[in-house]
Amino acid sequence: MNTKSSEGGGRKPPPTANRYQPGRSGNPRGRPRGAVSTKLITKKVALKRLTQTINAKHKSLMLLEWVILAVRSMQMEGHAGAARIVEDLKTFMIPAEAESLGVLLVPEVLTPEEWSAQIVRHNADHPFEPGTEEYERWNRRGPETGQKNDSTFAGCT
C-alpha cells in the first residue's frame, strides 16, 4: 500500500500562524467597496428601457422584453435552439414557489337573506359576545357536556 500521507507527501496543513483563528471570520476584509454582483449587473441591463421604431411607431420596452420577442420570432421561423431558449427563460423567470402555492377555498354564494339567516342562527347558538371571558369559556366546553362546541362563523365549516 502506497499512501502519500504515510511517506510525508501530499497536502500538508498550513502553518499554525496562517490557520483560521477561533472566533474570527475567514474573510476579515469582506467584500471590497464598489464590487457588484453578476446578478445585479444582469438585472440592471435586462431592465434597461430601449426605444425602437417599428412600422413608423416608437415602441419602448425593456431589453429583456426585446430579447424574448426576438427569440419568439426565431422560434416561429423554425430555429432549433429557440424553443429551448424560450423554455429556459420561462423556468428562469417563473419562481419554483409559484408552482407549489396553496388552494383557495371559496365559500358558497349566498343571497343577503340567506347570509342574514345564517348569522341569526349562529348568534342564537352563541349566547355570549365574542372576545369576552364567558364566550371563551362557553366555546371551550367539550362534547361531554352535550352542548354544541361550534366555533365556526356564518356556516364556514
If one counts the domains in the chain, the total is: 2
Question: Percent of the chain, pLDDT > 70?
Answer: 76
Domain assignment present for 121? yes
Q: Torsion over CA of 151, 153, 154 and 157, rounded to 10 degrees?
A: -70
Same domain (yes/no): 89, 46: yes
Domain assignment present for 16? no
Boundaries of domain holding 130: 112-140
Give the per-residue pLDDT at 95: 59
Tell me the pLDDT band of 87, cut-offs 50, 70 and 90.
confident
Provide the terminal-to-terminal Cα distance of the chain, rounded to the nearest Å. 72
Please state the φ and ψ torsions of residue 54, each to the nearest 5 degrees.
-125, 125
Domain assignment present for 147? no
Domain assignment present for 20? no
Domain assignment present for 117? yes
Nearest Cα to 136, choosing from 121, 151, 118, 156? 151
Residue 65 near residue 51, CB atoms below 8 Å: no
Contacts of 73 (CB under 8 A, 6+ apart): none
Which residue is it, cell 424560450?
86
CA distances from 92 to 78, 123, 146 (A): 22, 51, 57
Same domain (yes/no): 89, 42: yes
Question: Percent of the chain, pLDDT > 90?
Answer: 1
Domain assignment present for 47? yes
Whole-structure pTM over 0.75, yes or no? no
